[in-house]
Protein backbone atom coordinates (compact mmCIF):
# COMPACT_ATOMS: atom_id res chain seq x y z
CA UNK A 1 0.00 0.00 0.00
CA UNK A 2 1.56 3.31 -1.07
CA UNK A 3 1.57 6.16 1.44
CA UNK A 4 1.36 8.57 -1.50
CA UNK A 5 -2.23 7.50 -2.20
CA UNK A 6 -5.05 9.32 -0.45
CA UNK A 7 -7.42 7.40 1.78
CA UNK A 8 -10.09 7.79 -0.91
CA UNK A 9 -7.75 6.23 -3.46
CA UNK A 10 -7.07 3.35 -1.05
CA UNK A 11 -10.73 2.38 -0.81
CA UNK A 12 -11.62 -1.23 -1.52
CA UNK A 13 -14.35 -3.79 -0.97
CA UNK A 14 -14.55 -5.09 2.62
CA UNK A 15 -13.50 -8.63 3.43
CA UNK A 16 -16.09 -11.05 4.85
CA UNK A 17 -14.53 -10.64 8.31
CA UNK A 18 -14.71 -6.85 8.07
CA UNK A 19 -18.34 -7.11 6.98
CA UNK A 20 -19.12 -9.19 10.09
CA UNK A 21 -17.81 -6.32 12.23
CA UNK A 22 -20.44 -3.86 10.93
CA UNK A 23 -23.20 -4.18 13.56
CA UNK A 24 -26.13 -2.44 11.85
CA UNK A 25 -26.14 -4.88 8.93
CA UNK A 26 -27.79 -7.37 11.27
CA UNK A 27 -30.96 -5.24 11.61
CA UNK A 28 -31.68 -5.26 7.85
CA UNK A 29 -33.93 -7.50 5.81
CA UNK A 30 -32.06 -9.74 3.31
CA UNK A 31 -32.73 -7.54 0.26
CA UNK A 32 -31.81 -4.39 2.23
CA UNK A 33 -28.63 -5.99 3.49
CA UNK A 34 -27.66 -7.09 -0.01
CA UNK A 35 -27.99 -3.51 -1.26
CA UNK A 36 -25.97 -2.13 1.64
CA UNK A 37 -23.21 -4.72 1.31
CA UNK A 38 -22.90 -4.00 -2.41
CA UNK A 39 -22.33 -0.30 -1.67
CA UNK A 40 -20.04 -0.54 1.36
CA UNK A 41 -16.36 0.34 0.95
CA UNK A 42 -13.44 0.37 3.36
CA UNK A 43 -10.20 2.33 3.40
CA UNK A 44 -6.91 1.50 5.07
CA UNK A 45 -6.08 4.69 6.98
CA UNK A 46 -2.58 5.57 8.13
CA UNK A 47 -1.94 7.54 11.35
CA UNK A 48 -2.87 11.17 10.72
CA UNK A 49 -5.03 10.48 7.67
CA UNK A 50 -8.21 12.55 7.46
CA UNK A 51 -11.37 10.56 6.86
CA UNK A 52 -13.34 13.79 6.31
CA UNK A 53 -12.67 17.52 6.71
CA UNK A 54 -14.65 20.57 7.78
CA UNK A 55 -16.53 22.12 4.87
CA UNK A 56 -16.33 19.19 2.47
CA UNK A 57 -19.60 17.88 0.95
CA UNK A 58 -21.00 14.84 2.70
CA UNK A 59 -20.25 11.64 0.80
CA UNK A 60 -20.38 8.76 3.25
CA UNK A 61 -21.67 7.62 6.60
CA UNK A 62 -18.48 6.45 8.32
CA UNK A 63 -17.76 3.63 10.71
CA UNK A 64 -14.64 2.12 12.22
CA UNK A 65 -13.80 -1.54 11.70
CA UNK A 66 -10.35 -1.46 13.30
CA UNK A 67 -8.15 1.20 14.92
CA UNK A 68 -9.02 4.50 16.59
CA UNK A 69 -10.45 7.79 15.24
CA UNK A 70 -10.65 11.31 16.64
CA UNK A 71 -13.42 13.77 15.74
CA UNK A 72 -12.33 17.38 16.17
CA UNK A 73 -12.49 20.94 14.84
CA UNK A 74 -10.62 24.22 15.29
CA UNK A 75 -12.26 27.03 17.24
CA UNK A 76 -12.07 30.77 16.48
CA UNK A 77 -8.82 31.04 18.47
CA UNK A 78 -7.16 28.36 16.37
CA UNK A 79 -7.29 25.77 19.13
CA UNK A 80 -8.27 22.20 18.39
CA UNK A 81 -11.49 21.09 20.07
CA UNK A 82 -11.91 17.31 20.32
CA UNK A 83 -15.52 16.12 20.33
CA UNK A 84 -15.06 12.39 20.79
CA UNK A 85 -13.01 9.34 19.98
CA UNK A 86 -14.38 6.43 17.96
CA UNK A 87 -13.38 2.82 18.80
CA UNK A 88 -13.99 -0.21 16.57
CA UNK A 89 -17.68 -0.87 15.93
CA UNK A 90 -18.66 2.80 16.11
CA UNK A 91 -20.52 4.63 13.32
CA UNK A 92 -20.61 8.43 13.33
CA UNK A 93 -21.95 11.40 11.40
CA UNK A 94 -25.47 10.16 10.76
CA UNK A 95 -26.89 13.63 11.52
CA UNK A 96 -24.69 15.18 8.85
CA UNK A 97 -25.73 12.56 6.29
CA UNK A 98 -29.43 12.93 7.13
CA UNK A 99 -29.23 16.69 6.52
CA UNK A 100 -26.84 16.33 3.54
CA UNK A 101 -24.89 19.26 4.90
CA UNK A 102 -21.12 19.80 4.66
CA UNK A 103 -19.02 18.19 7.36
CA UNK A 104 -18.70 20.45 10.41
CA UNK A 105 -15.84 18.45 11.91
CA UNK A 106 -12.66 16.65 10.99
CA UNK A 107 -12.36 12.90 11.40
CA UNK A 108 -8.77 11.70 11.71
CA UNK A 109 -7.04 8.36 12.30
CA UNK A 110 -4.90 8.28 15.45
CA UNK A 111 -3.36 4.97 14.44
CA UNK A 112 -3.45 2.58 11.51
CA UNK A 113 -7.17 1.95 11.02
CA UNK A 114 -9.74 0.34 8.73
CA UNK A 115 -12.54 2.82 8.05
CA UNK A 116 -15.83 1.80 6.45
CA UNK A 117 -18.10 4.08 4.44
CA UNK A 118 -21.69 3.73 3.28
CA UNK A 119 -22.47 6.16 0.42
CA UNK A 120 -24.96 8.83 1.45
CA UNK A 121 -27.40 7.85 -1.33
CA UNK A 122 -27.52 4.27 -0.02
CA UNK A 123 -27.94 5.59 3.52
CA UNK A 124 -31.00 7.58 2.40
CA UNK A 125 -32.38 4.61 0.47
CA UNK A 126 -32.26 2.59 3.72
CA UNK A 127 -33.99 5.41 5.57
CA UNK A 128 -36.76 5.34 2.95
CA UNK A 129 -37.21 1.56 2.93
CA UNK A 130 -36.16 0.06 6.27
CA UNK A 131 -38.05 0.62 9.51
CA UNK A 132 -35.40 -1.21 11.52
CA UNK A 133 -32.64 0.93 10.03
CA UNK A 134 -34.61 4.04 10.97
CA UNK A 135 -34.81 2.77 14.55
CA UNK A 136 -31.07 2.12 14.58
CA UNK A 137 -30.29 5.65 13.35
CA UNK A 138 -32.75 7.18 15.82
CA UNK A 139 -31.08 5.33 18.69
CA UNK A 140 -27.69 6.52 17.43
CA UNK A 141 -28.80 10.15 17.33
CA UNK A 142 -30.32 9.94 20.80
CA UNK A 143 -27.22 8.38 22.34
CA UNK A 144 -24.96 10.83 20.50
CA UNK A 145 -26.88 13.78 21.90
CA UNK A 146 -26.43 12.44 25.41
CA UNK A 147 -22.75 11.83 24.73
CA UNK A 148 -22.12 15.39 23.58
CA UNK A 149 -24.04 16.90 26.49
CA UNK A 150 -21.88 14.83 28.85
CA UNK A 151 -18.75 15.88 26.95
CA UNK A 152 -19.67 19.55 27.34
CA UNK A 153 -20.07 19.05 31.07
CA UNK A 154 -16.84 17.06 31.15
CA UNK A 155 -14.90 19.95 29.58
CA UNK A 156 -15.84 22.14 32.55
CA UNK A 157 -14.54 19.68 35.12
CA UNK A 158 -11.33 20.78 36.82
CA UNK A 159 -10.36 17.31 38.01
CA UNK A 160 -8.20 15.33 35.56
CA UNK A 161 -9.45 12.10 37.16
CA UNK A 162 -13.07 13.00 36.39
CA UNK A 163 -12.28 14.02 32.82
CA UNK A 164 -10.29 10.87 32.12
CA UNK A 165 -12.83 8.62 33.86
CA UNK A 166 -15.80 9.96 31.92
CA UNK A 167 -13.89 9.90 28.66
CA UNK A 168 -13.06 6.25 29.24
CA UNK A 169 -16.65 5.47 30.19
CA UNK A 170 -17.88 6.99 26.91
CA UNK A 171 -16.06 4.26 24.98
CA UNK A 172 -18.26 1.64 26.63
CA UNK A 173 -21.64 2.90 25.44
CA UNK A 174 -23.35 -0.34 24.31
CA UNK A 175 -25.51 1.46 21.71
CA UNK A 176 -22.81 3.53 20.03
CA UNK A 177 -19.99 1.00 20.40
CA UNK A 178 -21.53 -2.47 20.67
CA UNK A 179 -18.26 -4.24 19.92
CA UNK A 180 -16.43 -3.04 23.02
CA UNK A 181 -15.50 -5.59 25.68
CA UNK A 182 -13.81 -4.77 29.00
CA UNK A 183 -10.43 -3.97 27.43
CA UNK A 184 -9.69 -0.71 25.63
CA UNK A 185 -6.60 -0.73 23.44
CA UNK A 186 -5.29 2.81 23.75
CA UNK A 187 -2.01 4.54 24.56
CA UNK A 188 -1.42 7.41 26.96
CA UNK A 189 -0.76 9.77 24.07
CA UNK A 190 -3.93 8.78 22.21
CA UNK A 191 -5.98 9.29 25.37
CA UNK A 192 -4.30 12.64 25.96
CA UNK A 193 -5.33 13.76 22.44
CA UNK A 194 -8.94 12.77 23.12
CA UNK A 195 -9.25 14.18 26.65
CA UNK A 196 -7.40 17.42 25.97
CA UNK A 197 -4.84 17.01 28.77
CA UNK A 198 -1.11 16.50 28.77
CA UNK A 199 0.24 12.98 28.68
CA UNK A 200 1.66 13.45 32.19
CA UNK A 201 -1.72 14.51 33.62
CA UNK A 202 -3.40 11.56 31.91
CA UNK A 203 -0.78 9.19 33.35
CA UNK A 204 -1.38 10.56 36.86
CA UNK A 205 -5.15 10.26 36.46
CA UNK A 206 -4.90 6.67 35.22
CA UNK A 207 -2.62 5.77 38.13
CA UNK A 208 -5.19 7.17 40.56
CA UNK A 209 -8.08 5.36 38.86
CA UNK A 210 -6.13 2.12 39.04
CA UNK A 211 -5.31 2.66 42.72
CA UNK A 212 -9.01 3.09 43.45
CA UNK A 213 -9.97 -0.10 41.62
CA UNK A 214 -11.83 1.37 38.62
CA UNK A 215 -9.34 0.15 35.99
CA UNK A 216 -6.31 -2.06 35.60
CA UNK A 217 -3.44 -1.03 33.35
CA UNK A 218 -2.42 -3.77 30.95
CA UNK A 219 0.03 -4.05 28.11
CA UNK A 220 -1.23 -1.95 25.19
CA UNK A 221 -4.28 -0.60 26.98
CA UNK A 222 -6.43 -0.89 30.08
CA UNK A 223 -9.18 -3.09 31.51
CA UNK A 224 -12.29 -1.56 33.03
CA UNK A 225 -13.09 -3.13 36.40
CA UNK A 226 -15.83 -0.76 37.59
CA UNK A 227 -17.68 1.00 34.75
CA UNK A 228 -20.22 2.52 37.15
CA UNK A 229 -17.40 4.21 39.06
CA UNK A 230 -16.03 5.69 35.83
CA UNK A 231 -19.45 7.01 34.87
CA UNK A 232 -20.16 8.48 38.30
CA UNK A 233 -16.60 9.82 38.51
CA UNK A 234 -16.42 10.25 42.26
CA UNK A 235 -12.76 9.84 43.22
CA UNK A 236 -10.31 10.85 45.87
CA UNK A 237 -7.59 13.39 45.13
CA UNK A 238 -4.84 12.09 42.90
CA UNK A 239 -1.92 10.24 44.43
CA UNK A 240 1.63 11.53 43.82
CA UNK A 241 2.73 11.03 40.25
CA UNK A 242 4.10 7.60 39.50
CA UNK A 243 4.75 5.93 36.20
CA UNK A 244 2.29 3.04 36.53
CA UNK A 245 1.25 3.19 32.90
CA UNK A 246 3.38 1.82 30.09
CA UNK A 247 4.34 4.38 27.49
CA UNK A 248 2.62 4.29 24.10
CA distance 38 to 14: 10
Residue 188 has pLDDT above 70, yes or no: yes
| pLDDT of the residue at 158 | 62
Q: Please check whether the two domains, 11-154 and 159-232, share a CATH topology.
A: no
The predicted pLDDT at position 89 comes to: 92
Q: What percent of the chain has pLDDT over 90?
A: 56
61-97: pLDDT as tens digits: 999 999 999 998 877 677 777 888 899 999 999 999 9
Q: For the domain bounded by 159-232, which CATH number is listed?
A: 1.10.10.10
What pLDDT is stored for residue 244 in this prediction? 39
Q: Has residue 10 got a pLDDT over 80?
A: yes
- Give SS3 for 68: coil
What is the model's pLDDT at position 105? 92
Q: Who contacts 58 (Cβ-Cβ below 8 Å, separation ≥6)?
A: 93, 96, 97, 100, 101, 102, 103, 120
Over residues 223-241, the mean pLDDT reads 71
Position 47 pLDDT exceeds 90: yes
> Per-domain residue ranges for the chain?
11-154, 159-232
Per the DSSP assignment, residues forming a β-bridge with 84 are 71
What is residue 236's predicted lDDT score, i.e. its pLDDT?
A: 53
The pLDDT score that the predictor gives to residue 24 is 96
Q: Which CATH superfamily is domain 11-154 in?
A: Jelly Rolls (2.60.120.10)
Question: Which residues neighbour 125 within 8 Å (Cβ) at sequence distance 6 or greater?
Answer: 35
pLDDT digits (tens, 9 = 90+) for 109-140: 999 999 999 999 999 999 999 999 999 999 99
Amino acid sequence: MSQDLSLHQRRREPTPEEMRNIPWLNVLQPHERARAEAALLVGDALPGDYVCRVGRPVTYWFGLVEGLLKIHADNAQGQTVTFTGVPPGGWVGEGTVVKREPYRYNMQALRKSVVAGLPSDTFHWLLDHSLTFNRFVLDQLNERLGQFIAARENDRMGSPEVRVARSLAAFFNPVLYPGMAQVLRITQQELAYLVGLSRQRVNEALANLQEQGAIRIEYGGLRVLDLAALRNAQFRAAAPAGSLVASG
